[in-house]
Amino acid sequence: MPASLIEGLIGGIGLFLCGMRFLSSGVRGLSDARIRDVSRLLTTNRAVSACSGAILSLVLGSGSAALIAVLALVNGGILTPFHAFNVLAGVLLGSSFLLHLPFVPYSLIASPLILAGISLKLFAHRRQLSSAGELIMGAGLLFFGINLLEQGFRLADSHPLSMIADRYLMQGGGSALLFGTLVSFLVQSARSSIAIIHSLLAAVPLALSSAGAMVLGGCAGMALIGLLASVGGTMAARRVALTLFFLACAVSLVMLPGIEQMLAIARLMPHGYFRAADFASLAWLSTAASAGMAVMLLALSGLLGRRFKPSEHGTNSSGTLPSQPCAGYLDQRILTTPALAVEQARKETIRMMTVAVYMYADVREILHDYDARRADTISQHEQVLDSLNHEITGFLASLSNAAASPAVSFVIPGLFQTVSDIEHIGDRCEDILSITIERKEKGIVFSDEAMADVKLLTEAVASSVSLAESILCQETEIFPAEQLYREKRRVREVIARIRQEHFERIGSGVCLPGAALLFNDMVTAFAGIADLCWNIAGTGRRSRQR
């Protein structure tokens, strides 16, 4: 196999995955109420969602790029699975139209996007502009990776794809479907994959029906790109990508027995700007397969959306947090009903607390077993908390101006304080993550006694976190005031004892200055989390008693 082919394969897929990561991270960083409002406007119903997907595919000039963009929006929590399936139906229709239109090569837009994205990422001072730069850079890397793959897999007489087709694929059927899936996955361009398959008709003694089966397999190849793009993403994105792949395989297998009849109909269609009649027939066959997938997605989107819908308490059926970084319960229209608006704000506050609890659990794990993916998850949770803090406080400010009831006016300050405290818990967790990363990078090792103290401290603070969550979430009028008092006294005694033992280790020379500073910062961060949890518990208790 030529070295250039291996280089194109490894480099293209690597840039592809890197671009997907930056694209998803940029979407998360930009997630706010305005973007959510735009997404709602573009996904009001199935027809509008499908039109939005078709336009996205036409603007990007690539069905694969549009598919990746949709998965990035699902990763960022902008789109729900229901909306994503409807938008993907439009993406499939748009990508089928692209086969019959002139196109702009990826290489012409990839480099400018990368340069613009890096410039914004490095030099922008505002967080939103930096996130926009990350998004643009990710899109550029995606296009560059697609172009690199396409360049490496252009067909030649001695190309490995020609030899595979010549040796194994003369019978068509299932083997031709698999070959088409492989070509579409490697090339990541429907037009280029059809060009490769059309070239095989002249290079090897291949029947047109076998070439048509390869084109049908290309639909599954495009969906397989989505599976690759969802690696490392959220559960919702992986489920959407997996559903699309299974649906593409099902459509390809259903259409395979009637391949001869469909090709006969395709020959009657206008050739457009295609010079070769066979190429036009294969393009129309691909259009028919994409249209069939789009119809099935539109028909099944409601059922699939309900199946993948997160539960009310912030977790989905798999027990993981939903990816949505924006508020799901808040709507400006309910401000006219203050009592309902307060309850919706309370639900969103509870969801915010759930995110903080998951974040703290990840911090506990990373102290003893560092994992880069878990560190990235902690950073994503912090972005969710920041976004929710911004939206909830804005909603409460509007509610405070609109509310005339004394009971509602009494609850709002407590919710303000609770939301702020939860957001600060996220900040303290991020401080602990930064300390852990610094300790790892500098090679600083805590003594066995210090690590035992860290474990004791994390467990003590964890009980305060659980107590705060239970008081905030419970709906009864019974509150463990005595338990809260005992918890505060116990945790403060643990912190005081750990600090005293830490000073003794410093005095005896067991603890070096660098390790001493990091350990002290870590204890301070954990103590801050405990104080914030007690504030949340006390505020929640008082608001319930009112």
Whole-number pLDDT of residue 323 = 44
Structure tokens at 235: 């559960």
Spatial contact of 321 and 355, defined as CB atoms under 8 Å apart: yes
For the chain, the residue count is 546
CATH of 332-545, one of 3.40.50.1820, 3.20.20.140, 3.40.50.280, 1.20.58.220: 1.20.58.220
What DSSP string runs through 395-425?
A: HHHHHHHH---HHHHHHHHHHHHHHHHHHHH
SS3 content of the chain, % helix, strand, coil (to 5): 80, 0, 20
What is the pLDDT at residue 102? 59
Helix (H) or strand (E) holding 293: helix 277-307
Residue 38 makes CB contacts below 8 A (sequence gap 6+) with: none
SS3 at position 2 = coil
The one-letter amino acid code at 306 reads R
By the 10 Å C-beta count (0-12 exposed, 13-18 middle, 19+ buried), 173 is classed as middle
For 5, the token pair is: 């082919």
Each residue's pLDDT, cut to its tens digit, for the chain (546 residues) gives 455 556 666 666 677 667 767 776 676 666 555 566 677 777 778 888 888 888 888 777 677 778 877 887 787 667 788 888 888 888 888 887 777 765 556 666 777 888 888 888 877 777 677 777 877 887 788 777 767 766 655 544 444 555 555 555 545 567 777 877 877 777 766 777 777 777 777 666 667 777 778 888 878 888 887 887 777 667 778 888 888 888 888 888 888 888 888 878 877 777 655 556 777 777 788 888 888 888 888 888 888 877 775 544 444 433 344 445 555 556 667 777 878 888 888 888 888 898 899 889 888 888 877 777 778 778 878 878 887 888 888 888 888 877 667 777 778 888 888 999 999 999 999 999 999 888 888 888 888 888 888 889 998 899 888 888 888 877 444 556 777 788 888 889 999 999 888 888 888 877 778 888 888 899 999 999 999 998 888 776 555 544
Question: HEC profile for 124-159?
Answer: CCCHHHHHHHHHHHHHHHHHHHHHHHHHHCCCCCCC
Taking the C-alpha atoms of residue 205 and residue 435, their distance in angstroms, rounded to an integer, is 64
Q: Any idea what the Cα angle at residue 285 is, between residues 280 and 291, rounded to 5°?
A: 125
Per-domain residue ranges of the chain: 3-307, 332-545
Q: Looking at residue 36, what is its pLDDT?
A: 64
The DSSP call for residue 76 is T
Question: Is pTM beyond 0.85 here?
Answer: no
Region for 443 from its dihedrals, namely left if φ exceeds 0, alpha if ψ lies in -120 to 50, beta otherwise: left
Using an 8 Å Cβ cutoff, are 257 and 101 in contact?
Answer: no
Residue 411 corresponds to which tokens in the numbers above?
């609850």
Residue 200 near residue 155 (C-beta atoms within 8 A): yes
Per the CB < 8 A criterion, the answer to whether 139 and 19 are in contact is yes
